[in-house]
Amino acid sequence: MKQVTKLALAAVVAGMAVNAAAYEQGDWILRAGAVTVAPDEDSDSIVLPTAPPTVLPGVSVDNDTQLSIIPVYMVTDNWAIEVLAATPFEHDITVDGVGIPAGSIKHLPPTVSMQWYPRGGQKGWQPYVGAGVNYTFIFDEKVDPALAGALNGLLGATEADLSLDDSFGLAAQVGVDIPLSDNWAINAAVWYIDIDTTAKIRTDVGTVAFDVDIDPWVYNVGIAYRF
C-alpha cells in the first residue's frame, strides 16, 4: 500500500510538471527559502609577535543558515538575470589547533548571475546553470573573550579588535525549478562563491594580519513563484 501511495504521489508531481506553463521572455520569478553558507575555508597561519614568534595554524569558519530572497528576470526564453540576496549571515570563527573561539562576523553576499535555461520555452522541469559576480559586505566583527584573554597572556595586550576586508569575486551555480502549477514551483540550487579576505587582529601592542579564503558552498531550498 505504501508503495502504491508513493507511485501515485510521483505520478501527480510528474503530471504537474508536464502541465505547468513554460518559462518565457519577460517572466519574473521570485524564489525564497532557506539558504546555507558552508565555508570551505583555507587560512594563512597566524604569527603572533612573541619571542620566539608563536605560530597558530589558522582559523575555521562555521556554517550558517538564513532566509533567501532571489528575484529572477527572463531576458529571453533561455537566458535570465538573477540576484541572490538573504538576511545577514553570522559565523563563529575558531583558531585551529588550539580550538580557541576567535570571534564572530556578519556578512551579506549579494550575487548577480547570468543564467541559462536549456528547457526555456518548454513545459516541465526547469534546470539551469549560471555564472556571475559576488560582493561580500563583512560587518559587526567581534573578538571573543577567549581570544582576548589569550592575547593578554601572550602579548600583554589589554585591548583587541577584529576586522575583515570586504570581498569581490566570481560565482557559479546550478539549480532546478520543479513546477507544482503554472505559477508555483519547488526550487533547489547550489553556488560556489569566491570570497577572499584579509583578517586583522589589532591590539594595543601591535597588529596581526592574515589572509582567509572563505570560498563557501551555498545551498538553497525553497519555493518559486512566476509572475
Query: Grid coordinates representing 117?
Result: 535555461
Integer Cα distance of 123 and 121 in angstroms: 7
Per-residue H/E/C for the chain: CHHHHHHHHHHHHHHHHHHCCCCCCCCEEEEEEEEEEECCCEECCEEECCCCCEEECCEEECCEEEEEEEEEEECCCCEEEEEEEECCEEEEEEECCCCEEEEEEEEECCEEEEEECCCCCCCCCEEEEEEEEEEEEEEEEEECHHHHHHHHHHHCCCCEEEEECCEEEEEEEEEEEEECCCCEEEEEEEEEECCEEEEEEEECCEEEEEEEECCCEEEEEEEEEEC
pLDDT digits (tens, 9 = 90+) for 64-84: 999 999 999 999 999 999 999
Beta-bridge partner residues of 29 = 72, 226
Given this model, what pLDDT does residue 128 score? 98
Which residue in the block uniquely carries the three cell numbers 588550539? 98
pLDDT over threshold 80, residue 226: yes
Q: What percent of the chain has pLDDT above 70?
A: 92
Given this model, what pLDDT does residue 52 score? 86
Given this model, what pLDDT does residue 15 score? 47
pLDDT over threshold 90, residue 221: yes
Given this model, what pLDDT does residue 3 score? 52
Given this model, what pLDDT does residue 154 score? 84
Predicted confidence band of residue 1 (pLDDT cuts 50, 70, 90):
very low
Given this model, what pLDDT does residue 19 score? 59
Task: Specify the pTM.
Answer: 0.86
pLDDT digits (tens, 9 = 90+) for 147-194: 999 888 888 888 999 999 999 999 999 999 999 999 999 999 999 999
Which domains, from first to last, does the chain contain? 2-226 (2.40.160.20)
52 vs 170: which has the higher pLDDT:
170
| Those residues with Cβ within 8 angstroms of residue 38's Cβ, 6 or more apart along the chain or in another chain | 63, 216, 217, 218, 219
Integer Cα distance of 13 and 16 in angstroms: 5
Predicted confidence band of residue 126 (pLDDT cuts 50, 70, 90):
very high
15 φ/ψ angles, rounded to the nearest 5 degrees: -65, -40
pLDDT digits (tens, 9 = 90+) for 75-120: 999 999 999 999 999 999 999 988 899 999 999 999 999 999 999 8
